[in-house]
Amino acid sequence: MQLKQAIIAHKAGDSLSRRWAETCAAQLENRGCRILMGPSGPKDNPYPVFLASAIAPIDLAIVLGGDGTVLTAARHLAAEGIPILAVNVGGNLGFLTESFESFKDSEQVWDRLLEDRYAIQRRMMLQAGLYEGDRTNIERVSDRFLALNEMCIKPASADRTITAILEMEIDGEVVDQYQGDGLIIATPTGSTGYTVSANGPIIHDGMKAITVTPICPMSLSSRPIVLPPGSVVSVWALGDYELNTKLWTDSVLGTAIWPGQRVDIQMADCDAKFIILRENYSYYQTLREKLQWAGARIQYTNNHRN
């Protein structure tokens, strides 16, 4: 990897994250790397400025924060093909990040990157757009929205809880109408996020698949479903006379859905690229640690491994 120009995004409002961003910037500038640095948070989005200010290809994005900070970076950088080095500095769960322990000797990290001593993990993204009418109309009437974890279609109101009525098609065939709090359409990466909280399946993040999980459905027969990656999920909001139904991307508001509009969700044409520094990276160890799997209360010795 070359390190001629890099992005450093730190978690907005977190002093530790900002200090480490300044340290990394100084180290990389001493190596001749041009740095674009700024905070990332609910009220701070530095990526349009980063991409517009770049005078050469961006070699690396260093994201210092938690999973929310990383999700924002992936949505803006995946289409540009920029690899992300995500480090849990000031974050909480850190499902998508390298540990701070593997990063705190940061000068050694830059040496490893320059010597190509790292791995790249590609993670599937979803894309969504709004269309008028049925699936014969393929002219998008909105921006393209990207998500690394999930797209969520559910209503929002400041003064009451609203029941969503959603009709879903898969590849042009009506599957069901759902009444409840909404629908989550997720990637394997997102299967351990909002989806698992809604009792959806956990899917290995090395796979390409799409899961659809109802949120608190009013019918016990409404169950999660796992789809092939080439599927197109189309959703209409029914009976929404007050225009409350929204499209959410990684828990961030994307757009309102008007009557007669459908949301088409499918696998994106780009992947998020993450740099892996750990030599012993294990997806299952991540599940055990982050989800705090306890297993059986009584532990038995397994002599069959000997």
Catalytic pick among 67, 205, 240, 271? 67
| 220 CB burial (10 A radius; 0-12, 13-18, 19+) | exposed
Decide if 264 is catalytic: no
Q: 303, 212, 229: which is closest to 269 by C-alpha? A: 229
3-state secondary structure of 195: helix
3-state secondary structure of 197: helix
Cβ–Cβ contacts within 10 Å for residue 51, how many?
A: 16
3-state secondary structure of 179: strand
Q: Count of alpha carbons within 13 Å of 23, Cβ hemisphere only?
A: 14
Q: How far is CA 143 from CA 129, 205, 255, 266, in A?
A: 6, 27, 9, 15
H-helix or E-strand containing 110?
Answer: helix 106-114
Instruction: Please provide the DSSP assignment of 14-78 as one string.
Output: -HHHHHHHHHHHHHHHHTT-EEEEEEEBTTB--HHHHHHH-SS---EEEEEE-HHHHHHHHHHHG
3-state secondary structure of 234: strand
Catalytic machinery residues: 67
